[in-house]
Amino acid sequence: DAEITQSPRHKITETGRQVTLACHQTWNHNNMFWYRQDLGHGLRLIHYSYGVQDTNKGEVSDGYSVSRSNTEDLPLTLESAASSQTSVYFCASSEVGLAASGEQYFGPGTRLTVT
Protein backbone atom coordinates (compact mmCIF):
# COMPACT_ATOMS: atom_id res chain seq x y z
CA ASP A 1 0.00 0.00 0.00
CA ALA A 2 1.13 3.54 -0.73
CA GLU A 3 2.11 5.58 2.29
CA ILE A 4 4.01 8.56 3.68
CA THR A 5 6.76 7.94 6.21
CA GLN A 6 8.57 10.47 8.37
CA SER A 7 11.80 10.11 10.28
CA PRO A 8 12.78 10.48 12.97
CA ARG A 9 9.50 10.23 14.87
CA HIS A 10 10.99 12.03 17.86
CA LYS A 11 14.00 14.35 17.98
CA ILE A 12 15.62 16.43 20.69
CA THR A 13 18.19 18.96 19.59
CA GLU A 14 19.99 21.99 20.95
CA THR A 15 19.51 25.62 20.00
CA GLY A 16 21.61 26.61 17.01
CA ARG A 17 22.04 23.12 15.53
CA GLN A 18 20.99 22.26 11.99
CA VAL A 19 18.28 19.60 11.86
CA THR A 20 16.80 17.75 8.90
CA LEU A 21 13.47 15.96 9.02
CA ALA A 22 12.84 13.34 6.36
CA CYS A 23 9.62 12.72 4.44
CA HIS A 24 9.18 9.91 1.92
CA GLN A 25 6.00 9.08 -0.02
CA THR A 26 5.20 6.15 -2.26
CA TRP A 27 1.98 7.63 -3.70
CA ASN A 28 3.96 9.03 -6.65
CA HIS A 29 2.29 12.38 -5.95
CA ASN A 30 3.71 15.57 -7.43
CA ASN A 31 2.54 17.79 -4.57
CA MET A 32 4.22 17.62 -1.18
CA PHE A 33 3.75 19.82 1.89
CA TRP A 34 5.22 20.47 5.31
CA TYR A 35 3.04 21.71 8.19
CA ARG A 36 3.67 22.38 11.83
CA GLN A 37 1.08 21.89 14.55
CA ASP A 38 1.09 23.97 17.71
CA LEU A 39 -1.41 24.42 20.50
CA GLY A 40 -3.40 27.55 19.87
CA HIS A 41 -2.31 27.84 16.24
CA GLY A 42 -3.48 24.60 14.69
CA LEU A 43 -1.72 23.37 11.56
CA ARG A 44 0.20 25.91 9.50
CA LEU A 45 1.93 25.49 6.15
CA ILE A 46 5.73 25.83 6.17
CA HIS A 47 6.86 24.94 2.63
CA TYR A 48 5.45 23.09 -0.33
CA SER A 49 6.51 21.65 -3.68
CA TYR A 50 4.58 20.95 -6.87
CA GLY A 51 7.27 18.79 -8.42
CA VAL A 52 10.97 18.05 -8.76
CA GLN A 53 13.12 21.18 -8.39
CA ASP A 54 10.06 23.24 -7.36
CA THR A 55 9.83 24.69 -3.84
CA ASN A 56 7.64 27.45 -2.39
CA LYS A 57 7.29 29.28 0.91
CA GLY A 58 4.23 28.86 3.04
CA GLU A 59 2.78 30.90 5.87
CA VAL A 60 5.57 30.22 8.42
CA SER A 61 8.71 29.58 6.36
CA ASP A 62 11.28 31.68 8.23
CA GLY A 63 14.13 29.49 9.52
CA TYR A 64 13.18 26.51 7.35
CA SER A 65 14.20 25.27 3.92
CA VAL A 66 13.30 22.36 1.63
CA SER A 67 14.70 20.79 -1.50
CA ARG A 68 13.05 18.44 -4.00
CA SER A 69 15.49 16.31 -5.98
CA ASN A 70 13.06 13.46 -6.73
CA THR A 71 9.33 12.77 -6.61
CA GLU A 72 9.38 10.69 -3.43
CA ASP A 73 11.24 12.90 -0.93
CA LEU A 74 10.90 16.38 0.54
CA PRO A 75 13.32 16.87 3.46
CA LEU A 76 12.75 19.83 5.78
CA THR A 77 15.83 21.56 7.19
CA LEU A 78 15.95 23.85 10.18
CA GLU A 79 19.01 25.96 9.48
CA SER A 80 19.69 26.97 13.10
CA ALA A 81 17.16 25.46 15.48
CA ALA A 82 15.36 27.82 17.86
CA SER A 83 13.12 27.06 20.85
CA SER A 84 10.20 28.57 18.93
CA GLN A 85 10.54 25.69 16.47
CA THR A 86 9.62 23.11 19.09
CA SER A 87 6.54 21.59 17.49
CA VAL A 88 5.03 18.57 15.78
CA TYR A 89 5.84 18.48 12.07
CA PHE A 90 3.66 16.78 9.49
CA CYS A 91 4.44 15.97 5.90
CA ALA A 92 1.65 15.49 3.37
CA SER A 93 1.17 14.77 -0.32
CA SER A 94 -1.58 15.06 -2.90
CA GLU A 95 -2.22 14.91 -6.60
CA VAL A 96 -4.33 17.18 -8.72
CA GLY A 97 -5.57 16.83 -12.26
CA LEU A 98 -8.43 15.30 -14.22
CA ALA A 99 -7.93 11.85 -12.71
CA ALA A 100 -7.07 12.96 -9.20
CA SER A 101 -9.30 14.19 -6.39
CA GLY A 102 -6.75 16.41 -4.67
CA GLU A 103 -7.19 14.49 -1.41
CA GLN A 104 -4.24 15.14 0.87
CA TYR A 105 -2.57 12.31 2.79
CA PHE A 106 -0.51 12.88 5.92
CA GLY A 107 2.46 11.19 7.50
CA PRO A 108 2.58 10.16 11.19
CA GLY A 109 4.45 13.29 12.28
CA THR A 110 7.80 14.15 13.89
CA ARG A 111 7.86 15.59 17.40
CA LEU A 112 10.80 18.01 17.61
CA THR A 113 12.03 19.52 20.86
CA VAL A 114 14.64 22.28 20.79
CA THR A 115 16.37 22.79 24.15
Residues at the site binding another protein, with contacts judged by CB under 8 A: 31, 33, 35, 42-45, 48, 50, 58, 90, 92, 94, 96, 101-109
Question: In the sheet that 64-66 helps form, which strands lie side by side, from edge to edge?
Answer: 4-7, 19-25, 76-78, 64-66
- The CB-of-16 to another protein minimum distance in angstroms stands at 28
- The CB-of-23 to another protein minimum distance in angstroms stands at 12
Q: Which is nearer to another protein, 40 or 70 (CB)?
A: 40
Number of Cβ within 10 Å of residue 110's Cβ equals 22
- The CB-of-42 to another protein minimum distance in angstroms stands at 5
Q: Which is nearer to another protein, 15 or 56 (CB)?
A: 56
Q: Which is nearer to another protein, 6 or 85 (CB)?
A: 6
Distance, in Å, from the CA atom of 27 to the CA atom of 114, rounded to the nearest integer, reads: 31
Do 6 and 106 form a contact (C-beta atoms < 8 A)? no
Number of Cβ within 10 Å of residue 44's Cβ equals 14
